[in-house]
Amino acid sequence: MQTSIDPAEAEALARDAADPLAPLREEFLIPPHGDGEQVYFCGNSLGLQPRGVRAALLDELDDWHRLAVEAHFRGRHPWMPYHEELRAPLAELAGALPHEVVAMNSLTVNLHLLLVSFYRPTRERHAILIEKHAFPSDRYAVASQIRFHGHDPAEALIELDGDEAGGAISEAAIARALDQHGARIALVLLPGVQYLTGQAFDLAAISALARARGCAIGFDLAHAIGNLPLALHDSGADFAVWCSYKYLNAGPGAVAGCFVHERHAQAALPRFAGWWGHDPATRFQMGPQFHATPGADGWQLSNPPILALAPLRASLELFRRAGMARLREKSVALTGWFEALIRERLDDVLAIVTPREPARRGCQLSLRVKGPRDAGRRLHEHLHARGIIVDWREPDILRAAPVPLYNRHIDCLRFVRAVQDWAAHGR
């Protein structure tokens, strides 16, 4: 019998044993694979279910049963101020003041609501600057807003292409675009972390560039919140939006969030209003005039979906326990170890397109599969059959996200070995 001990295995197990955040994995339901568990590297797409979610949901169902309408005030987590319970942990993750954030709607809805307020086109200045490979929903949203205001996206939508190897966009390229077009740009919309390349952007530097040229600046943080520590207030951005089903682990279609900078808290901006954005002190006088709640709350439309917020409350509790600084510290180490292993063992199979500098990425590595056109799809299928869950983006990108809340070094090694196997036999 021949046994070959992989030295990386001992190292992975030692690193996992020494990880102070390792117990957090127990707080998640890891999908099964055969007699074991999946290697789940898809937290960038749908985060895993925290164990506490089921109880949090059942609490609300019980309160609905026992208290019905009175649960608005007497529930264990009273429904009337329910979103208030989410404010502190969300503000912490966003790096914002409490009244700068609110949990509501879904990401694209929030993007539209904030574009109504912050995209204020004039005849001379009506363009929007986005990235060329923006997430489709963001592109649809801004193009439709441009049309809604009577302009033509063919002229008014400026798309910034990646200028670095792998498709990343340098800060210099953003500065050049703003130098060239700044006077006609009304609004800049960029991601915190680019969904395809995994590139992280410097929100403060970009905000300063945009604001120096008189442009409003908003960020889509779908792939950034819960992945990177954020400092939205200090960044000076006008607004930001995010969803909660990726790194925030709040479940499919979870209630999203948004940030509106304090300097707009009392501003008389145009907005699409609803009763839940009305000042709560006088909301139930049911008067005909809308008086906005100061801060992000003033953008709410409807009374919050409690059954959809309960998982978010359970999930944010885990972030509060872990602390974003400690999660990030683990994340840098985990993704760095994963990257080194890929470079060492898979150089002929995978090219890493995500920037190398830890400051320019979160936990996700985007991997371009070398070889014939359908190699990537076949590798993806090979991994999936072995319980290694990564996601596949046409034409040739695998995205693998070791999430520090529940992934381990041994998961990274299982991925690398399965790819080695495929390269040696299956390819």
Ligand X SMILES: *Cc1c(COP(=O)(O)O)cnc(C)c1O
Q: Residue numbers of the site for ligand X (CB under 6 A)?
A: 106-108, 135, 137-138, 191, 195, 220, 222-223, 243
| 111 or 310: CB nearest ligand X | 111
Tell me whether residue 223 or residue 409 sits nearer to ligand X (CB atom). Answer: 223
Nearest approach, Cβ of residue 418 and ligand X (Å): 26
Q: Which residues contact 380 (CB under 8 A, 6 or more apart)?
A: 390, 392, 398
Nearer to ligand X, 100 or 138 (CB): 138
Query: Which residue number, 220 or 238, has a Cβ lying nearer to ligand X?
Result: 220
Helices within 101-162 (DSSP H only): 107-118, 136-148, 153-156
Supply the minimum distance, in Å, between the C-beta of residue 126 and ligand X.
23
Shortest distance (Å) from residue 225 CB to ligand X: 11
Q: In the complex with ligand X, which residue's Cβ is closer, 106 or 170? A: 106
d(CA 227, CA 224): 5
**Token digits for 392?**
């596949």
Judged by beta carbon, residue 186 or residue 256, the one nearer ligand X is 256
Cβ burial of 23 (10 Å; 0-12, 13-18, 19+) is exposed
Q: Min. distance of Cβ 25 from ligand X in angstroms?
A: 24
Distances (CA, A) of 134 to 66, 168, 188, 195: 47, 12, 12, 8
Smaller CB separation from ligand X, 258 or 292 = 258
With tokens 């090694």, the residue in question is 413
The pair of three-digit structure tokens given for residue 105, joined into one six-digit string? 């709607």
Q: Considering the complex, what minimum distance in angstroms separates the CB of residue 223 from ligand X?
A: 5
Q: What share of the chain is helix, strand, coil (3-state, %, to 5)?
A: 45, 15, 35
Instruction: Quote the least distance from Cβ 112 to ligand X, whole Å.
Output: 10
* Residues 6 or more apart in contact with residue 162 via CB below 8 angstroms: 131, 132, 133, 168, 169, 197
- The encoded tokens of residue 24 equal 């957090």
Question: Cβ of residue 32: shortest distance to ligand X, in angstroms?
Answer: 26
